Amino acid sequence: MIPLRDSNPSGTVPFVTITLIVINSVVWLYEVSLGPGVETLVYHYGLTPIKFVMPYKFAGGFFSNTLVPLVSSIFMHAGWMHVIGNMWFLWIFGDNVEDRLGHFKYLAFYLLCGIGASLIHVAFHPASQIPTIGASGAISGVLGAYLVSYPHARVHTLLIIFVIIRFVEIPAYLFLALWFGFQFVSGAAELGSRADTGGVAYWAHMGGFVVGIILLLLMPKNPQYKTPTWEDSRERKLFTRW
């Protein structure tokens, strides 16, 4: 399933979402420019669970092995499809969550989701020596918040099943439930794998999703926020994405 757009218009210009996409893209281009040297960057600024759990056994101590990677790892990616997929999901689902929370609270929400997802990944793989990078945990939090806020929104989706290709509209609650189910099945299968094997951090995705739901319920809505209606969607075509 590849989401193409949703049915919710943006009530305001999503400054924070756009800024996050730009920052992630610039960081990725910088990674690409380093060539083979990117491995050193990832080793220092990615979140390595064993270094996080035992920071003083590695060079840099607590600050470099624990505090810095919790934030820096959220803005790094491992490949073109990794960064494009993450930024596409953020573009589709992030603006409406930014509407609901307001710009400043949304930025705090995004970072907290990313940090929470990283902590959950460490909890499930404390002995891993593989650096973890990517905005997926933070964006998973955005998906969780979207589910709570707009469960009946329509997600225009490219559905590919073997040789069958269809464009369909799926309710947001179904699209996100299927997404979460895939993460759960994959994460459960991953538990039996070696701790030093790289791959997709499925538990970080699930953790970020749950953290996003909890934070959204705890954070007050933007006082100027108004739930979009179909009349609003006609008036705000400027901010409806394709």
Give the tens place of pLDDT for each residue, 175-198.
999 999 988 888 887 766 554 555
Instruction: Kindly state whether residue 74 falls inside one of the protein's structural domains.
Output: yes
**Higher per-residue pLDDT: 111 or 156:** 111
> Given this model, what pLDDT does residue 115 score?
95
Is 60 exceeded by the pLDDT of residue 237? no
Is 9's pLDDT higher than 90?
Answer: no
Residue type, 21: I
**Domain presence at residue 68:** yes
**227 within some domain:** no
Q: What is the mean pLDDT of residues 102-129?
A: 93
Question: Is 124 a member of any domain?
Answer: yes
CA distance 119 to 122: 5
CB 42 within 8 A of CB 132: no
The answer to whether 4 and 157 are in contact (CB under 8 A) is yes
* Per-chain mean pLDDT for the chain: 86
Residue 43 lies in a domain: yes
> Does residue 143 surpass a pLDDT of 70?
yes
**Residue 240 maps to a domain:** no
Q: Report if residue 65 sits inside a domain.
A: yes
Predicted pLDDT at 111: 97
CA max distance for the chain: 59
- Which domain, by its residues, includes 174? 2-222
Strand partners, 156: 5, 169
Would you say residue 241 lies in a domain? no
> What φ, ψ does residue 47 adopt, rounded to 5°?
-90, 110
Q: Which of 133-147, 192-206, 222-236 has the lowest mean pLDDT?
A: 222-236
Number of domains in the chain: 1
Our CA dihedral for 17, 19, 24, 27, rounded to 10 degrees, sits at: -170
Q: What is the CATH number of the domain that holds 139?
A: 1.20.1540.10
pLDDT higher than threshold 50 for residue 241 = no
Tokens matching residue 30 = 């910088």
Question: Residue range 61-86: average pLDDT?
Answer: 92
Query: What tokens appear for 183 in the block?
Result: 């993460």
